[in-house]
Amino acid sequence: MIGGLGEPEDPDRRDTENIPRTRGEANPPPDEFSDPQDAPTHFVGKATVGAGVGAGGATSGHSGPRPGIDEPFPEFSEEELAGVRFDDAGVPLGPRRVLPLEDEPSTLVARYLFPTERYRGEWKRHWVHLSQPLLSGVIATFILGYLSGFLAKQEMSSLWLAAVAVWIVIMSWVAWRVADWYFDRFILTNKRLMLINGIITRRVAMMPLIKVTDMKYEQSPMGRLLNYGTFVLESAGQDQALSKVSHMPNPNELYLRIVEEMYEPAAVEARLGREPDEE
């Protein structure tokens, strides 16, 4: 008996308050549908209608879209993805930062590489390396040309011949410097860095990549304008055959190549389409 009344007590009845029904509660939950598209719209991609409604019709949560659930996925155009590279699994690798590697060394460089060494590139110094001899040749041409003309009018043949001889010597020195610049090469392989210079007396300086402890490049305001820089290399040894290389073109590009070869050699081989242990 309940409350002194004569009604029999229902054993299945619990002494709890009735839960207020909400709108849409009569619909079955979405997991009872074989296809999510057949489920009611208030269960697909949105919060359940009235799920946060309590007694008296007040809502307990926000009614706006939920981040990560109701927002659409971002879309990218083909132009935005033009500079992005992907691996075999379709994972983006980021934009290309370095230029493609050269295939074969020049004849001048090939003689200094051993068979199992992999060639990565060679560079001549920036043309600004010739600014001093070229400027000297231009100034000498104007001065000695004017002087030789003046001496010829004065009928001083001996002095005129001396002025012409001085001009020939200066221009021969300029030609020597240009030839030395042409045969001067900075070389990168998978094993070492090399600097080759000299015409009559050839000098080959080398530093193994595994011995490089610190590397930096410096650019003056003029170097940033003309795109050249000076590389400073440090190794564990005291006497360094290759420590400072000035007037190198595209210093940022060269810096990335050297660092990638030192720390990510497998990435270089992947860009070349070869296996790391391929001969």
CA–CA dist 133, 139 (Å, integer): 10
Phi, psi of 166 (to 5 degrees): -65, -40
Using pLDDT thresholds of 50, 70 and 90, give the confidence band for residue 147.
Answer: confident
Q: What is the pTM of this model?
A: 0.59
What's the rounded Cα separation, in Å, for the pair 21 and 119? 77
In whole angstroms, give the CA distance from residue 279 to residue 271. 16
29-38, 75-84, 196-205, range with greatest mean pLDDT: 196-205
Q: Where are the beta strands (DSSP E) in 46-183?
A: 84-86, 92-95, 119-123
Other C-beta atoms closer than 10 Å to the C-beta of 132 total 11
pLDDT band per the 50, 70, 90 thresholds, residue 2: very low
Tell the residue number behind the tokens 């993805």, with chain if given.
81
Alpha-carbon gap, residue 123 to 156, rounded angstroms: 49
Mean confidence (pLDDT) of the chain: 74
- For residue 157, count CB atoms less than 10 angstroms from its CB and return exposed for 0-12, middle for 13-18, buried for 19 or more: exposed
pLDDT at 164 over 60: yes
Question: CB count, 10 Å around CB of 151?
Answer: 19
From CA 203, how far away is CA 197, in angstroms rounded?
5
Within 10 A of 129 (CB to CB), how many other CB atoms are there? 19
Task: Give long-range contacts, CB 8 A cutoff, 24+ apart: 154-163.
Answer: none
pLDDT at 127: 93
Q: Is the pLDDT of residue 244 over 80?
A: yes
Task: Tell me if residue 256 falls in helix, strand or coil.
Answer: helix
What whole-number percentage of the chain has pLDDT above 70? 59
Q: Are the beta carbons of 36 and 44 closer than 8 angstroms?
A: yes
**pLDDT digits 0-9 by tens, 80-135:** 555 556 556 555 555 445 455 556 888 889 999 988 889 999 999 999 999 999 99
Q: Which amino acid is present at 241?
A: A
Bigger pLDDT: 15 or 264? Answer: 264
Distances (CA, A) of 258 to 47, 121, 190, 215, 234: 54, 10, 9, 9, 14
**Residue 112 exposure: Cα atoms within 13 Å on the Cβ side:** 22
User: In this predicted structure, what is the pLDDT of residue 251?
Assistant: 92
Angle formed at CA 277 by CA 274 and CA 278, multiple of 5 degrees: 50
According to CATH, the topology of domain 103-125+185-272 is PH-domain like (2.30.29)
Give per-residue burial for 94-110: e unless 16+ CB within 10 Å, then b. Answer: eeeebeeeeeebeeebe
Higher per-residue pLDDT: 116 or 277: 116
- Given pLDDT bands bounded at 50, 70 and 90, which one contains residue 227? very high
Amino acid (1-letter code) at residue 242: L
Say which residues have a Cβ less than 8 Å from residue 142's Cβ, sequence separation at least 6: none
